[in-house]
Structure 1
């Protein structure tokens, strides 16, 4: 077969996704014609799709040595470097591609993805928006923007972009998978499973959808069903990382912790794992070793997981944000801020630091027949994000508060309550347990003056250590560093003390340690604060069928226990910086 026929045959294999055959032929072509840039280019794509990333990188460099202005080759080189965890080398490749072709939407989208993974969400979104400005029908940019929005917990907006991507490219596997993850986050499990199955149908070797289905079963407490989904994947010589991670989440319920540790260690041996999955596996191993009481090994994995998180915590921006809130709602200024006429008492806000007992409090409350636990709602965050455009105030919250009239605040209250009531129409009380609503208490107090506020408190070291041990997203940039954690915690305490001094909205403080040691009295205190009659079911909160999707979902399925108190002492030798900073 002459060279041209080989190239045609190789391209046919490539189009038909017969990657092994295409790789073999293109490799032969590059050996016989080492200056054939097209052959090197297609070989780079094939290696990238097969996951042989060093070879993909080599082929891209060969292409560019022959054609330095081949912008698509710069794109592919950047992608190969990025997937090898070499983000700093990848960024200039995408920038070079844009320099060569300023209308290259693919380079903008890929650079946006890199910036997202590096923890620069604002810049990432600018690049995704630019890609979609160039080509509104670019499905990959919609999908990648959806990923960014999902990380920011803007689930409905993310879902719109994923659905657009799937509509533009009906066989877009990643879009169907991502729709599944969003629908799962929103509690729409039937739709989630439908899209997971569609993604798996389109690519049977794609393990993530199966892990997604298993995760839904796990969240519902159906551990045997979850294991049955994963078992074929776990039996592979090197299990897929997503299957091993999902298994780790429920292995203790089946007395399979050691098997889960073994599966994760095998999965870690795959040097093609992206950094985010390596990070997830270290957190999962930390949890398993913690459950096995091998605390030194647990901390080693938690620390590795945190070191892999590319969060950027700007302490100056942080302090400025908290100070602006306190100044806006100072004792002198607060009298000049309008108040909504809304007198509805339906909303119950459960807030505080993450990992402070908010899920436990909501689970107790939601056992009451007159209270619906809605979980961590994004509604207040969405209202805050809408303020600059809605009221023509570039700074938004808290600066916009001086511009809001009583009618404006009433409109915001009506909007919030409408969405809240739609979750459980006619229910006397509905709880919103988004922990960081403590930042918005000033607005809440003026928007919903009859709302009930439950502030959850827990031992500072236990709280911060629990955050450090949890794989939080980029909305918590303080979470991966002990000193930053302490800084954020001090600011939170200071702000809550400020609210208690200046706000006239009812705030009940509940200490986790008192709650777990004196369950009945503290539970009665909670119910009384919400203006409800006592219900004995609140003492059996763990027997509810309600699905909990927050990090504490497993704990609230169990009866009250005290083993999380003073947990930090098991790790005391590993956290001297955290202890010292919190004691200041």
Structure 2
């Protein structure tokens, strides 16, 4: 069929579609017989079949249209724009295509990819669900949906979706790898380890795969196996900076002179500019900082830490004013009258225990202690409170950062819904049936007003550590994501000061609702501090809490190996050898440094606030 005849036949089929779908289908089928690669004809057939209520056949026709897209010049151009990361060009072409035919499943999936690449995951999810509604057998769209779920921290949904994907394509290593990662985020460690073992056996020379395997081995406490996995990966790719940092991040390993020489050589090799090279360089700088720190050679240690932080700060472009604005808004809005007017709103469940504060302030130690109690389950740093807050801001204010204003306007039923949503979203993390469970995301300190309103009976523990020890520990730490404030000494001091400012306000307007644990007091007198914590929670003292280091539970944070040792003072005063370089931090901390601890340990009563079981207030 000549091109003109083909186009004329398509036009005729479109004219027939509304009034005579059977005739349109016949015309479309005739085109397909002549030109099997006509994606437009397959889509017309799908339209006609839907009009004739032949849905299964319509879905098959939509899927056939996807396969024919590789012969469509316009779609090939859009795919090329995607491959070259020319996202505006790709988006323009795809939107034009969907204006012409809103059921073009291939265009819908590609537009979802554009949305995902720029972080519009909700839009990507809607588009992919539409694609799968039209063509349930479209495996690429379903795999994309799993990735979108993972990117939104909806790990259980990602794993469930990947089950369906792997049912059709069981040997796809990318899908198996993503499922293992998702399972690792919801506590499915045994299955995740089994998947990694299969993958590493299939791909023994895949360094990043071995690194992911090492991360999970570290999480479950198999440190020797974790080190072996990292070392295996380094033998494959000695220039992969993240591997060296992964070893350093174990905290308990000491690098040899040969290791330092290998890292310095890798750093020289990574000098050419570029995103991947920058990533290798920053990881190598952090790892070398640790290596020279361990050797007591502070000048090169600081130089490497500073270089790694500078690269990462340039990538993240943190603005301290954003945090200050949120804290100012929370202090201005969340008055005693504000809380009084919303008393008894939210979800009444007492189950969650929030451990929050600055990162590297001892929250993992506190979690490990409490998770050794028979009534408390430790989970991990959960992303759900920030997601709920930012979602509320976007929903009612058009901007996630304006969540405080949105909270002020939220009706009672919305607060209860959000509390219930947190419980529902985090249920997948609960494996033991214990009555209480911990969310230890440090950055939740920014959202304490929201926690108090949506989960008024939840308990909140503020982990606080000496500002210089805490901030220096952060400066030495590279985080996989988040913590953008931590890559500049002045920004970190300002962030710490804003944190103290908000928590002092909460103490004033909600006295006794937050229990503060001073890290140094916990080290000096652990049993007294543990009894005080348990008293605040309304729980009886158990000796197991003092033997926390024998608890074999999985730990995902940078302190995973440290909390598997008895309490020690190894982390105290580690900033002192670097004092000469800490002027920007001290100036930013200001009076907070002189006033520490602003609120002494045991400032709150260790007695439960009422006589309900487990001290639920």
TM-score, with structure 2 as normaliser: 0.68
Distance in 2, matches of 1:553 and 1:96, equals 45
Number of the residue aligned with 2:361: 356
Number of the residue aligned with 1:178: 178
**Structure 1 296/109 Cα, relative in aligned 2: closer, same or farther at 3 Å?**
farther
**Structure 1 385/149 Cα, relative in aligned 2: closer, same or farther at 3 Å?**
farther
**Structure 1 474/168 Cα, relative in aligned 2: closer, same or farther at 3 Å?**
farther
Distance in 2, matches of 1:152 and 1:468, equals 27
- Alignment check: 8 A CA contact 1:208 1:242 kept: no
Number of the residue aligned with 2:561: 554
The offset of 1:516, in angstroms, is 1.0
Number of the residue aligned with 1:16: none
**Which SS does the other structure have where 2:472 is aligned?**
helix
Give per-residue Cα distances to partners, 1:350-379, cap 9 Å, x unaligned.
111111111111111222222222232233
Which among 285, 288, 305 is matched to residue 288 of structure 2? 285
The reply on whether 1:478 has 2:477 as its aligned counterpart is no
**Which SS does the other structure have where 1:499 is aligned?**
helix
Number of the residue aligned with 1:301: 304
The reply on whether 1:583 has 2:601 as its aligned counterpart is no
The reply on whether 1:497 has 2:504 as its aligned counterpart is yes
Number of the residue aligned with 1:399: 405
Distance in 1, matches of 2:532 and 2:215, equals 35
**Structure 1 241/480 Cα, relative in aligned 2: closer, same or farther at 3 Å?**
closer
The offset of 1:559, in angstroms, is 1.4
Bigger mean CA offset, 448-457 vs 103-112: 103-112
- Alignment check: 8 A CA contact 2:211 2:233 kept: no
Number of the residue aligned with 2:378: 373
- Alignment check: 8 A CA contact 1:248 1:257 kept: no
Number of the residue aligned with 1:22: none
Number of the residue aligned with 1:261: 260
Distance in 1, matches of 2:182 and 2:170, equals 18
The offset of 1:234, in angstroms, is 3.9
Distance in 1, matches of 2:342 and 2:170, equals 50
- Alignment check: 8 A CA contact 2:346 2:419 kept: no
**Structure 1 241/342 Cα, relative in aligned 2: closer, same or farther at 3 Å?**
closer
The offset of 1:244, in angstroms, is 3.9
Structure 1 residues 408-447: aligned runs within 5 Å: 408-417=414-423, 423-424=430-431, 426-447=433-454
**Which SS does the other structure have where 2:345 is aligned?**
coil
The offset of 1:402, in angstroms, is 4.0
The offset of 1:568, in angstroms, is 1.5
Give per-residue Cα distances to partners, 1:389-448, cap 9 Å, x unaligned.
8x8665673233344444544444444445667715552432221212222222222233
- Alignment check: 8 A CA contact 1:339 1:447 kept: no
- Alignment check: 8 A CA contact 1:383 1:412 kept: yes
The offset of 1:216, in angstroms, is 2.4
**Structure 1 483/143 Cα, relative in aligned 2: closer, same or farther at 3 Å?**
farther
Higher gyration radius (CA) = 2
The offset of 1:495, in angstroms, is 0.8
**Which SS does the other structure have where 1:190 is aligned?**
helix
The reply on whether 1:330 has 2:329 as its aligned counterpart is no
Number of the residue aligned with 2:613: none
Distance in 2, matches of 1:439 and 1:71, equals 42
**Which SS does the other structure have where 1:398 is aligned?**
helix
**Which SS does the other structure have where 1:509 is aligned?**
strand
**Which SS does the other structure have where 1:479 is aligned?**
helix
TM-score, with structure 1 as normaliser: 0.72
Which among 447, 456, 460 is matched to residue 453 of structure 1? 460
Number of the residue aligned with 1:226: 226
Structure 1 residues 162-173: aligned runs within 5 Å: 172-173=172-173
Distance in 2, matches of 1:481 and 1:100, equals 41
Number of the residue aligned with 2:6: none
Distance in 2, matches of 1:201 and 1:174, equals 15
- Alignment check: 8 A CA contact 2:111 2:127 kept: yes
Number of the residue aligned with 1:51: none
Distance in 2, matches of 1:143 and 1:492, equals 40
Give per-residue Cα distances to partners, 1:69-92, cap 9 Å, x unaligned.
97766666x4xxxxxxxxxxxx6x
**Which SS does the other structure have where 1:333 is aligned?**
helix
- Alignment check: 8 A CA contact 1:350 1:431 kept: yes
- Alignment check: 8 A CA contact 1:336 1:402 kept: no
Unmatched tracts of structure 2, length 5 or more: 1-75, 98-106, 592-617
Structure 1 residues 461-472: aligned runs within 5 Å: 461-472=468-479
Bigger mean CA offset, 420-429 vs 315-324: 420-429
Distance in 2, matches of 1:73 and 1:419, equals 38
Distance in 2, matches of 1:270 and 1:425, equals 48
**Structure 1 486/534 Cα, relative in aligned 2: closer, same or farther at 3 Å?**
same
Number of the residue aligned with 1:25: none
- Alignment check: 8 A CA contact 2:245 2:286 kept: no
Distance in 1, matches of 2:493 and 2:154, equals 27
The offset of 1:270, in angstroms, is 4.8
Number of the residue aligned with 2:317: 312
Distance in 2, matches of 1:287 and 1:431, equals 30
Unmatched tracts of structure 1, length 5 or more: 1-68, 79-90, 116-120
**Structure 1 323/368 Cα, relative in aligned 2: closer, same or farther at 3 Å?**
same
Bigger mean CA offset, 216-225 vs 255-264: 255-264
**Structure 1 256/314 Cα, relative in aligned 2: closer, same or farther at 3 Å?**
closer
- Alignment check: 8 A CA contact 2:373 2:545 kept: yes
Number of the residue aligned with 2:580: 573
The offset of 1:499, in angstroms, is 0.7
